[in-house]
Amino acid sequence: MSAREKSNIPSSEITPESLYCDRRAFIATAGAMGVGAIAALSGMPGLAGAQQGAQQGAPQATGKPFGLQPNDKPTPWEDVTTYNNFYEFGTGKGDPAEQAKNFKTKPWTVRVDGLVNKPADYQLEDFLKPSGIEDRIYRHRCVEAWSMVIPWRGIMLADVIKRAEPTSKATFVEFTTLMDPKQMPGERENVLRWPYTEGLRLDEAQHPLALLAVGVYGRTLPNQNGAPLRLVLPWKYGFKSIKSIVRIRLTDAAPKTAWQQAAPSEYGFYSNVNPTVDHPRWSQATERRIGEFFKRKTLMFNGYAEQVGAMYAGMDLRKNY
């Protein structure tokens, strides 16, 4: 199934978000049980979430499903917006929802430069305007062996690159997150090399599945999910999908990525989801779908092998992890 093709999953298969449990109710129960103090002391993250986007109406799990398996259902909004890896706002899963509350995403400028004929600084609205905004439901696989199904809203990265007119020398794309330690407390800690950077081969960046997301569940992207603009690459481990992007630069050499620099033996440039190549410290053969107890088998390229496999034909994926 190509990214442009229609999926065979009827929209009736998708559980409406309203059927999932109510966060307020469980917070109230938690309080009633009096576990608050000990929970805070021992770092139970579930009790420290954020209430965001309430003014935008109920989250809608709408969109065209891409590469979903028959038993894939969108992960509840509560999980998608409280279980986050976004080290700029802390290393705990609940930290981003807590610490990104007051993050300013307006105004936002995106620079597109490097080996292009039309380098420019865009205001986010102008950056998005020429492209059609789409709702797409993707599988998401974190390198930590958990996974979700997420209804994203965004534009195709390929559109943005086409508009910039890459020169014939351009072979890679580098992405950079905002550097603002005042707003992003994590950037004051020496955990990764800031600002966070990521990279793709040009053909990967031009793949129709590569999405620049501005929303989730039909709402504006919450800050903890990488507002206002983030990458989504469903066939790669989650950390490749860089958040709060301020710069997209075309280059002629493989960009140094944040995790590659932090631990080169554990995180490679490609970081394609691959059940046969383990992380040095844990297996990648299975995953825990958030909200499910029994583990699932991890699929090659996270279930997108048909769409993306050709880009890696003939490559030794054990070496190019």
Partner 1 sequence: MRGPRLNIRTVREPKWFSVALILLCCVPALLAIAAMSSDIIAHTRYFGSNPVKEGEHFLGEWTLRFIIASLTVTPLRQITGWNWLAKHRRTLGLFAFGYLMMHWITYALLDVQLDWGELVKDLMKRPYIIIGMVALVFMTALALTSTRNSIRRLGGKRWNRLHKLIYLVAILGVIHFWMGVKKDISDPLMYGICVAALLAWRLVRWWSRREVSAVTIPVGAQ
Residue 153 sits in the site that holds partner 1 (CB under 8 A): no
Q: How many residues bind partner 1 (CB under 8 A)?
A: 42
Other Cβ atoms within 10 Å of 283 Cβ, number: 11
Candidate residues 8, 12, 42, 55; the one interacting with partner 1 per rule CB under 8 A:
42
Q: What residues pair up with 215 in beta bridges, in sequence order?
A: 153, 220
Q: The tokens of 308 are what?
A: 């993306």
Write down the least CB distance from residue 188 to partner 1, Å. Answer: 13
Residue 39 sits in the site that holds partner 1 (CB under 8 A): yes
Candidate residues 261, 291, 309, 310; the one interacting with partner 1 per rule CB under 8 A:
291
Return the number of the residue (124 or 290) whose C-beta is nearest partner 1: 290
Residue 26 sits in the site that holds partner 1 (CB under 8 A): yes
Residue 277 sits in the site that holds partner 1 (CB under 8 A): no
Are 164 and 119 in contact by the 8 Å Cβ rule? The answer is yes
Write down the least CB distance from residue 22 to partner 1, Å. Answer: 11
Q: In this structure, what DSSP letter does residue 290 have?
A: T
User: Distance between CA 270 and CA 150 in Å, rounded?
Assistant: 22
Non-local CB neighbours of 96 within 8 Å, separated by 6+ positions = 84, 85, 86, 88, 89, 90, 223, 224
Residue 21 sits in the site that holds partner 1 (CB under 8 A): yes
Among candidate residues 185, 290, 244, 224, the one with its CA nearest the CA of residue 53 = 224
Residue 144 sits in the site that holds partner 1 (CB under 8 A): yes
Candidate residues 77, 122, 146, 196; the one interacting with partner 1 per rule CB under 8 A:
146
Q: In this structure, what DSSP letter does residue 173 have?
A: E
Q: Can you say whether the dihedral through the CA atoms of 156, 147, 104, 136 is positive or negative?
A: positive
Residue 201 sits in the site that holds partner 1 (CB under 8 A): no
Stretch that binds partner 1, among 229-237, 268-276, 290-298, 304-312 (CB under 8 A): 290-298
User: Distance between CA 89 and CA 85 in Å, rounded?
Assistant: 9
Residue 94 sits in the site that holds partner 1 (CB under 8 A): yes
User: Distance between CA 321 and CA 319 in Å, rounded?
Assistant: 6
Q: Which residues inside 235-264 make contact with partner 1, applying CB under 8 A?
A: 262-263
Return the number of the residue (171 or 286) whose C-beta is nearest partner 1: 286
Residue 35 sits in the site that holds partner 1 (CB under 8 A): yes
Helix (H, G, I), strand (E, B) or coil at 258: helix
Angle at 285 between CA 281 and CA 310, to 5 degrees: 110
Candidate residues 104, 129, 169, 295; the one interacting with partner 1 per rule CB under 8 A:
295
Residue 66 sits in the site that holds partner 1 (CB under 8 A): no
Helix (H, G, I), strand (E, B) or coil at 263: coil
CA 171, chain centre distance (Å): 23
Residue 88 sits in the site that holds partner 1 (CB under 8 A): no
Write down the least CB distance from residue 11 to partner 1, Å. Answer: 23
User: Distance between CA 148 and CA 290 in Å, rounded?
Assistant: 6
Candidate residues 16, 31, 43, 181; the one interacting with partner 1 per rule CB under 8 A:
43
> Which residues of this protein are in contact with partner 1, per CB under 8 A?
21, 23, 26, 29-30, 35, 38-39, 42-47, 49, 78-79, 82-83, 87, 91, 93-94, 144, 146, 189, 191-192, 262-263, 280-283, 285-286, 288, 290-291, 293-295
